[in-house]
């Protein structure tokens, strides 16, 4: 490489300098605060189907008393995963079917926080 008229060129005299024609520059003007989501959500558990454990992720817009519960197909409560006041933000809970001696099948989990209520389905496979 060598310099020719202020440009860097390779041995074949081809310019190695980039040309900025119709370039766009993006400037970040704000950073979203991830600690306080704009809406409630209860995500699908992962992995699903699962064996022996799975992860449940949810978001709260502000501080609430939260109840996260797992039920079997007959509607019987099999686990109370969360039963407490929690701050706004993202939360993750692990659900371990092995420690509860649950059998293969379909289960449901429900999140209640203030007026928000949502149910999702999960499948345990052994």
Domain boundaries, the chain: 41-124
End-to-end CA distance of the chain: 64
Distance CA 47, CA 68 (A): 18
- What is the average per-residue pLDDT within 78-103? 96
Decide: helix, strand or coil at residue 40.
coil
Tens of pLDDT, residue by residue over 5-46, are 655 555 555 555 555 455 555 565 555 555 566 788 999 999
pTM over 0.75: no
The answer for residues whose C-beta is within 8 angstroms of residue 84's C-beta and 6 or more apart is 65, 66
Instruction: Kindly report, residue by residue over 94-118, the tens digit of the pLDDT.
Output: 999 999 999 999 999 999 999 999 9
pLDDT tier, 126 (very low <50, low <70, confident <90, very high otherwise): confident
Give the residue-averaged pLDDT of 76-82. Answer: 97
Q: 41-124: which CATH topology? A: Immunoglobulin-like (2.60.40)
């Amino acid at each position: 490489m060598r310099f020719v008229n202020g440009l860097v060129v390779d041995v074949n005299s081809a310019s190695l300098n980039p040309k900025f024609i119709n370039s766009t520059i993006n400037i970040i003007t704000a950073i979203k605060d991830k600690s306080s989501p704009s809406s409630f959500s209860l995500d699908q558990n992962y992995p699903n189907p699962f064996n022996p454990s799975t992860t449940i992720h949810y978001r709260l817009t502000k501080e609430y008393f939260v109840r996260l519960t797992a039920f079997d197909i007959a509607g019987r409560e099999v686990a109370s995963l969360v039963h407490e006041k929690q701050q706004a933000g993202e939360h993750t809970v692990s659900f371990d079917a092995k420690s509860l001696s649950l059998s293969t099948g379909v289960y449901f989990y429900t999140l209640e926080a203030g007026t928000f209520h949502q149910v999702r389905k999960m499948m345990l496979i052994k």
